[in-house]
């Protein structure tokens, strides 16, 4: 899932080298943290959070085969 978030985020931002994705796995949850440059934050979140919601939806759909809950956390 980490690679999927990385690919999506890098295609959205102006500075792909500023994209950092980490993945933390717990018992029944996977937390994916996405960090981008301050200038690119608006591009990742989108108007009214639409792009952020779309990223979360795609990741959850891709992870539906696993029995774990996926959380995508977008940080500055």
Q: What is the pLDDT of residues 4-26, one digit of tens each?
A: 999 999 999 999 999 999 999 99
> Tell me: the pLDDT tens digits for 29-59?
999 999 999 999 999 999 999 999 999 999 9
pLDDT value at position 9?
95
pTM strictly above 0.85: yes
pLDDT value at position 43?
95
pLDDT value at position 59?
93
Measured CA to CA, the distance from residue 8 to residue 4 in angstroms comes to 6
Expressed in angstroms, the distance from the first to the final Cα of the chain is 20
Q: Which of 11, 8, 17, 7 is nearest to 37 (CA)?
A: 17
Domains along the chain?
A: 2-75 (3.30.300.20)
């Amino acid at each position: 899932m980490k690679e999927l978030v990385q690919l999506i985020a890098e295609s959205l931002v102006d500075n792909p080298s500023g994209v950092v994705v980490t993945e933390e796995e717990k018992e029944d949850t996977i937390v994916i943290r996405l960090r981008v440059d301050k200038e690119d934050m608006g591009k990742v979140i989108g108007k009214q959070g639409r792009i952020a919601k779309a990223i979360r939806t795609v990741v959850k759909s891709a992870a539906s085969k696993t029995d774990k809950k996926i959380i995508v956390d977008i940080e500055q």
